[in-house]
Amino acid sequence: MEINDLLEGNHVIADFRTSSKKQALQQLSKTLAESFGIDARDTFAALMERERLGSTGVGRGVAIPHARIAGVDHIAGLFARLCQPIDFDSIDDRPVDLVFLLLAPEEAGADHLKALARVSRLLRDDAMCDRLRTASDAAAIYALLSQPASAAA
């Protein structure tokens, strides 16, 4: 599974403005829910429910919020580079400035986990995160994210 299987070019935000984790999840869930034609409130509620289980702030300024949602027919993502880092209750207590949100169909058990693993591997790479943080615009970010796994390293 490659990132471009999960992410479309129009689902990359280069300069996302938000002031809190809750606000970020509200705004991002609204954007992705609209593209699926599903209820943004339900999407936000599912993401917040997942956050109650434990923060999806995985460390080094990265968060990977995710949820399984009724009405979603395929796994899809939305990437946002924040203008200002925010507190995300991350495991390392560092603020987050890179967010890769994933939504999956309710029945996408193994595929959902594969998608999470792929995103996690990509964003665990400090050099990749540095390139994402300094990329000039959304198109440049998408180009970095959509490189095949062997080329991204």
Query: Per residue, what are the HEC states of 59-94?
Result: ECCEECCEEEECCCCCCEEEEEEEEEEECCCCCCCC
Number of structural domains (the chain) is 1
Residue 99: band (very low, low, confident or very high) from pLDDT cuts 50, 70, 90: very high
Q: Does 153 fall in a domain?
A: no
Return the higher-pLDDT residue of 86 and 35: 86
Q: Catalogue the active-site residues.
A: 66
Among all chains, which residue has been given the structure tokens 């964003």? 123
Return the higher-pLDDT residue of 31 and 148: 31
Q: Give the CATH number, domain containing residue 106.
A: 3.40.930.10
Which strand (E) or helix (H) includes residue 144?
Answer: helix 138-145
Among all chains, which residue has been given the structure tokens 């990437």? 79
Q: Does 152 fall in a domain?
A: no
Domain holding 80, by residue range, is 3-147
Write out pLDDT tens, residues 43-92. 999 999 999 999 999 999 999 999 999 888 899 999 999 999 999 999 99
Which strand (E) or helix (H) includes residue 112?
Answer: helix 109-123
Q: Does 104 fall in a domain?
A: yes
Q: Does 17 fall in a domain?
A: yes
Distant-in-sequence, close-in-space partners of 36: CB < 8 Å, separation ≥ 6: 69, 71, 72, 73, 76, 103
